[in-house]
Structure 1
Amino acid sequence: MTAPALRIEHRQQQSLTPRLQQAVRLLQLSSLDFAQEVHAALDKNPFLETDEGDVPGAAPAVAVPDMASDIGEAPAPNEGWASTSSIDRRAGASGSDVSALDFLAADVGLREHLHRQLNVLPLTPRDQLLAATIVESLDDDGYLRTALPELAGLTGLSPSPCEMSTALKRVQSLDPDGVGARNVAECLLLQMPDIEDPEVRGLASRIVSQHLDRLAHHDVAGLAKALEASASDVAHACERIRHLDPRPGWRHGSADVQYLTPDVVVRRVRGTWRATLNPAIVPRVKLNQAYARLFQQHRDARHGELAASLQEARWTVRNVKQRFSTILKVTEAILKRQHHFLEYGPLAMKPLGLKEIADEVGLHESTVSRVTNNKYMSTPSGVFELKYFFSRAMVTASGSTCSATAIRGVIKEMIDGESPSQPLSDPEIARRLLRQGLTVARRTVTKYRQLLKVAPVERRRKHA
């Protein structure tokens, strides 16, 4: 049996300090989340204050100009734009305490919209309560997915099934049409009076009530055979059905739209594409030099907490500068390689990897990945996430390479130019790509079509 022994070994191991871990976490945050972090630091750190100066390298603090056209020169500051303060001044000139917020329209939710209609109907308190119970049980899309007997027990009035059915019909008679339905078929049937032609309305009602599955698959031939009607009449009825709203509740009080704020704005200036930081997303923060000097002059061992706050303030200011400097450098490197995309569209997108940009700006690939995550670029063609400009290279039959984005552009052009009566299937698109020297598997075509939000071939087919 061997005796225990002590041994000393030297090992090198990389580890992230808490400060570096925090920097990595902040780098991959969206600009909105990062601004919230900075504002939280402003609130609790006495050595930080708001900086009212201009942001170096940032675009002028004006609204983003029209990105639909090619931009030659940057517009003059404040040209053609009204600020909130000017609105406030005009409102104040009338002699009333009116702010710009008073001019904003208030959103009315679905339930409030329905309650307002019920309140003007000549109903007894009992009928009012039964109808209101149904309204409060509706989902956001306007459907009633709770059984009437279960709702009856919630009222505390012991209503009869007939009373609950009447209350439901009363709710279903309100605006918007189709509200209070218990399934898609009932929702569409409630909207049938919107179809003026009685013959089309009758045929559409039969389609919805008897053959909803065929309607979903655009099976016009099967519907015509099952209903003993002409294909043209069935196609017309189906087209009319598609103008109905399967989610009527979304017209009122839908979920708040999340708007994207671009981190950088790309413009063409004198024939050259240039990127500037969007000043709206850059936190205006700086070190309060007066407080810092006072602390340094009267510093002693009892002020350890203030010393930590000063160090934290300096790190915050440095992190803000470094973050946006890195974003701008990465964006400029992307523009250098993908400027043809801005001029000619997705078909001109080149293959691009993280390593190529990392080597250009002198960063690690993981850092570039974090920089491009949740960061957006505003261009004349739209707003794109920085990750959009990266794609793997695909080799063509000639030996050259193209990007997956370019292939998606080719697929979109094919679908846009297809015949409505004979749309292209995924295998046919793959065959056509092969004839152009692009070897793309059928399942890859399906994935790209889904990314383009294009329906399958059966749902795109239209009958004469």
Structure 2
Amino acid sequence: MKQGLHLKMGQQLSMTPQLQQAIKLLQLSTLDLQQEIQNALDSNPLLEQEEHNGTQEVSAEQDSSQIDTSEAMTQKEFSEDLPAENNWEESYNQGPNSSTTSSNASYEGDDNGYQGESSTSLQDHLIWQMQLTPFSENDLLIATAIIDSIDESGYLTTSCEAIQESLETEIDDLELDEVQVVLKRIQHFDPIGVAARSTQECLQIQLQHLPEQTLWRHEALTILSKHMDLLGNRDYRTLARKTKLKEAELAEVLQLIQTLEPRPGNQIENSQAQYIVPDVYVKKISGQWVVSLHPDSDPKLSINQQYASLCKGNISKSDSQFIKGHLQEAKWFIKSLESRNETLLKVSNCIVHQQQAFFEYGEEAMKPMVLNDVALEVDMHESTISRVTTQKFMHTARGIFELKYFFSSHLATENGGECSSTAIKALIKKMISAEVTSKPLSDNKIALLLEQQGIKVARRTISKYRELLGIPSSSQRKMLSKLERKSKKC
């Protein structure tokens, strides 16, 4: 092949630092954005924040290409102070790692149970109990390895064989039985059933921990050990035949099993309240739906003119370059933040404009809408719409929804129109909630009822939507209804 020089014309999109920063800010939620803004303020002396005094609002009736970014009323935040006469120790939640307690004597004679609410992780909670347990040095190493392999739900993610192999260099002649003995001990830590290797084992441990005189304990253990597949499939008819239990008796056993916790780690991990901060608010003002940004999404950032003016003074070259570099970064950050807020407001306004029926009448009136519908209206790429609607939440009179909630697929109606999958799910849920429990509606019957309303949906589609809603089949609902009636009579 002969080598040579050739000229070629072409275009290429370059990911400049400004574009990368704009994309990054676009994907952040309000909480993450607050942290990003704070980091920028801490690292850039030329960036400063002014006192915020309003929210950015736009009416959903306006054209999405012409957005008025006017100031609106400041949203008030209310807080309640603790009573002045309260002692701080009474307000302090004593967790496992608390260095100060009101009374050390309160732990004497008590089990290593969970004391009050905790702000620590599941691993911290288990390590605290491990330190209060009379383990040998080798058992402490094994217990630590086991606790490190427990996930947030409380399940052991590593096999005992793998734990044994990982500790061979630290413990001589370590036997598999030693690992299994320590595992059994940890499985009876609080919460009971932690470090289980399957849901079946987790529920069995919790049942075994109950007093032997607990009603239906033995039958529940039998079902979990021999008929877990039937229980998982909700095949109660076959389950009653296999266990030779009457319907009323089976209902009591199932009620006992339902009191168990299949994810024991959630009792610790979910003890901390997790908050969703809405990115946009929607409210009706003078008959029009108005969209406004959350105040924390629209902070008033500006350039510190005192530092910026130093560039014109008699300073060294390095200082001048330092100031100019941070000045450019501050301008990019402010521009990227403005672009993010403008895009978020524009997309939110478009969603509210297209889904006004939902805000007026509820999810049954939801219209079909896909990313491309919004992308065409706001003149943006679908990937941009996807980024701006991920982990962004809208506060409405009907609740808080992720922006992605308003997107749904199209299904044809009899008159040539279209209906959204969200609306169909709402109709299915409404029909089943209003059905006669002794004669539940089958998927075919629901399809016929929807067809009478002009919505043509296949039976398999009804079945898929019903399963997504977590609703059992008609035969399972009928069996559950019988079991409940039998249980009430008894």
Q: TM-score range by the shorter chain?
A: 0.7 to 0.9
Q: Distance in 2 between matches of 1:206 and 1:396?
A: 50
Change (3 A) 1:263 1:164: closer
> Which deviations, in whole Å up to 9, do the C-alpha atoms of 1:176-224 show, x marking residues without a partner?
3334545444433333364787552232222222222112222222122
Distance 1:331 1:296, change over 3 A: farther
Any residues of structure 2 matched to 1:343-422 within 5 Å, and which? 343-354=360-371, 357-358=374-375, 361=378, 363=380, 367-418=384-435
Q: 27, 30, 40: which one pairs with 1:29? A: 27
SS of residue matched to 2:283: strand
Structure 2 match to 1:189: 204
Q: Secondary structure at the residue paired with 1:384?
A: strand
Corresponding residue number in structure 1 for 2:79: 81
* Aligned residue in 2 for 1:231: 247
CA offsets 1:308-331 (integer angstroms, 9 cap, x no match) = 432332232222223213322332
* CA deviations over 1:269-300 (Å, ceiling 9, x no partner): 45543222111233442111222233246699
State the Cα deviation string for residues 132-163 of structure 1 (Å, max 9, x = none): 83475152444556438965976848688887
Aligned to 2:415, the other structure's residue is in SS state: coil
For structure 2, the 5+ residue unaligned runs are 59-72, 96-116, 484-490
Bigger mean CA deviation after superposition, 103-112 or 432-441: 103-112
Aligned CA distance change for structure 1 residues 344 and 298 (closer, same or farther; 3 Å) = farther
Paired position in structure 1 for 2:298: 282
Give the paired residue count: 435
Is 1:273 aligned to 2:289, yes or no? yes
Q: Where in structure 2 are the equivalents of 1:83-122 lying within 5 Å?
A: 106-110=118-122, 112-114=124-126
Match for residue 326 of structure 2 among 309, 313, 333? 309
Cα contact 1:114–1:135 (8 A) shared by 2: no
Distance 1:236 1:52, change over 3 A: same
Give 1:396 shift.
0.5
User: C-alpha root-mean-square deviation of aligned residues, in Å?
Assistant: 4.6
Instruction: Map 1:291-302 onto structure 2 (within 5 A).
Output: 291-296=307-312
Q: Where does residue 49 of structure 1 map in the other structure?
A: 48
TM-score, scaled relative to structure 1? 0.74
Sort the Cα spacing of 1:7 and 1:448 in 2 relative to 1 into closer, same or farther, 3 A. same
Contact 1:137 1:146 in 2 (8 A): no
Aligned partners of 1:28 and 1:332: how far apart in 2? 16
Give the C-alpha shift of residue 403 in structure 1.
2.0
Letter in 1 for 2:76: P
Distance 1:77-1:119 versus aligned 2 partners, 3 A rule? closer
Shift of 1:395: 2.3
Q: CA deviation at 1:383?
A: 2.0
Aligned partner (choices 217, 235, 254) of residue 233 of structure 2: 217
In the alignment, is the contact (CA less than 8 A) between 2:122 and 2:268 conserved in 1?
Answer: yes
Residues 33-56 of structure 1: CA distance to partner in whole angstroms, max 9, x if unpaired?
444444444334332122224255
Q: Which runs of 5+ in 1 are unaligned?
A: 60-73
Partner Cα distance (1:180, 1:48) in 2: 49
**1:347 CA drift (Å):** 0.8
SS in 2 for 1:398: coil
Contact 1:58 1:279 in 2 (8 A): no
Q: Which aligned pairs between 1:123-272 and structure 2 lie closer than 5 A?
A: 126=136, 130=139, 133-134=142-143, 136-138=145-147, 139-140=150-151, 141-143=153-155, 146-147=159-160, 151=164, 156=171, 170-179=185-194, 181-192=196-207, 194=210, 200-253=216-269, 259-272=275-288
**TM-score, normalising length: structure 2:** 0.71
Distance in 1 (alpha carbons) for counterparts of 2:130 and 2:4: 87
Q: For residue 66 of structure 2, what is the aligned residue in structure 1?
A: none
1:187 maps to a residue whose letter is: C
3-state SS of 1:28 partner: helix
Structure 1 residues 372 and 299: CA distance shift in structure 2, 3 A? farther
> What is the identity, as a one-letter code, of the residue corresponding to 1:77?
K
Find the counterpart in structure 2 of residue 69 from structure 1. Answer: none
Q: Distance in 2 between matches of 1:163 and 1:95?
A: 47
Distance 2:376 2:197 in 1: 58
Contact 1:172 1:178 in 2 (8 A): yes
CA contact (8 A) 2:28 2:391 kept: yes
Q: Distance in 2 between matches of 1:164 and 1:299?
A: 68
Shift of the 236–17 alpha-carbon distance from structure 1 to 2, 3 Å rule, reads closer
Structure-2 separation of matches of 1:457 and 1:375: 37
Equivalent residues of 1:430, 1:440 under 8 A apart: yes
Amino acid of the structure 2 residue aligned with 1:188: L
* Pair 1:112–1:224, CA change in 2 (3 A): same
Change (3 A) 1:47 1:95: same
- The alignment partner of 1:320 has SS state of helix
Contact map agreement 2:130 2:143 (CA 8 A) in 1: no
User: Alpha-carbon deviations, 1:18-77, whole Å to 9, x = none?
Assistant: 266336523531234444444444334332122224255279xxxxxxxxxxxxxx8983
Shift of 1:397: 0.3
Q: Distance in 1 between matches of 2:125 and 2:18?
A: 52
Query: Retained in 1: the 8 A contact 2:55–2:298?
Result: no
How far apart in 1 are the matches of 2:424 and 2:299? 39
How far apart in 2 are the matches of 1:369 and 1:393?
A: 18
Is the CA contact (8 Å cut-off) linking 1:265 and 1:275 kept in structure 2?
yes
